[in-house]
Structure 1
Amino acid sequence: MSTPDFIREIRATAGHQLLWLPGVSAVVLDDEGRVLLGQRADNHRWALISGIPDPGEQPAAAVVREVEEETGVRVAVERLVSVRSGRPVTYPNGDVCQFMDLCFRCRVLGGEARVNDDESLAVGWFSLDELPEMTEFHHFRIKQALSDEPTWFDPTAPQ
């Protein structure tokens, strides 16, 4: 995954210490009910399309931008699916990040699914019964996007 310039600037002074960052992800569904996935270049795993909002960028606008930048598909955001904090991730260079993921359900407006940048090895549409191997976190977000449940958040969080 390409590191945004603003994070490179922070890393110049923060070193490898944990950075708490916003993240956005998209469950993009086509008219046939298939899900858009990308095979990540950094770890070769299939995943929902995701990224980091630019400073000042609204999360919904960021997810629309990320989907088009990575896949060539234009989308409209339908709703917020989940708000969830992930586990810290340590990258091969020693950088540590923890992301607060805002996941959105999106519908396709146009474009053809393709590898559109250097962040993906492959991009494709998958029926729900033929999803490639992915982490449980991806399956969770897809399930939430397909349900009529309200936005998911951890109800055990202190109030």
Structure 2
Amino acid sequence: MATPDFIRTIRADAGHQLLWLPGVTAIVFDDAGRVLLGRRSDNGKWSVIGGIPDPGEQPAACAVREVFEETAVHCVPERVVLVEALEPVTYPNGDTCQFMDVTIRCRAVGGEARVNDDESLEVGWFALDQLPDLHEFGLFRIKQAMAEEQPTWFDRQ
């Protein structure tokens, strides 16, 4: 995930201290029930699509924007899947962040999946029984998004 300019500005004053930040994850399904994934350029691993909202940007608008920016796929948000405070993460440069992730189930409505920016090495559609190796973060969100009638998930307890 590229660091947005507004975060760089905050970091100029805040240094490496913990920043509490919003994050949005989009779980995008096509009409065949496949899920859209990207192989990240920062670590080479397959992942669900996501990013940081711009100041004042609504989570659903962020999901739509991030999906298009990273994959060239147009999508529409359908529902909030989960809201979760993630564990703090420390990046190699020493910056520490903790994200409040809002995961949104989306439906693809156009575009052809392709690498559309420098954040991904590959993008593609995957059948649910043929997913590449994914971190638990992505697997859990896909599972929650698949359940049509399930309410929004708020807590692992």
- State the AA in 2 paired with 1:106: C
- Residue 155 of structure 1, CA deviation: 7.0
- Residue 134 of structure 1, CA deviation: 1.0
Task: Indicate yes or no: 2:150 matched with 1:149.
Answer: yes
> Matches of 2:41 and 2:100 in 1, distance apart?
22
Percent of counterpart pairs with the same letter? 69
Task: Indicate yes or no: 2:93 matched with 1:116.
Answer: no
Q: Which residue is equivalent to 1:6?
A: 6
Q: Which residue is equivalent to 1:18?
A: 18
> Matches of 1:77 and 1:49 in 2, distance apart?
13
Q: State the secondary structure of the residue aligned to 1:81.
A: strand
- State the AA in 2 paired with 1:5: D
Q: 1:28-47 residue pairs with structure 2 within 5 A? A: 28-47=28-47
> Matches of 1:95 and 1:42 in 2, distance apart?
16
- State the AA in 1 paired with 2:154: F
Q: CA RMSD in A?
A: 0.9
Q: State the secondary structure of the residue aligned to 1:66.
A: helix
Q: 1:26-71 deviations in whole A, cap 9, x for unaligned?
A: 1100011000000111111111000000000011001100000000
> Matches of 1:29 and 1:104 in 2, distance apart?
11
Task: Indicate yes or no: 2:83 matched with 1:83.
Answer: yes
Q: Which runs of 5+ in 2 are unaligned?
A: none
Counterparts in 2 of 1:44 and 1:155: CA distance versus 1, 3 Å: closer
Q: What is the number of equivalent residue pairs in this alignment?
A: 156
Q: State the secondary structure of the residue aligned to 2:104.
A: strand
Q: State the secondary structure of the residue aligned to 1:54.
A: coil
- Residue 137 of structure 1, CA deviation: 1.6
TM-score (norm 2): 0.97
- State the AA in 2 paired with 1:131: L
Q: State the secondary structure of the residue aligned to 1:56.
A: coil
Q: Which residue is equivalent to 1:140?
A: 140
Moved over 3 A (4+): none
> Matches of 2:122 and 2:115 in 1, distance apart?
6
TM-score (norm 1): 0.95
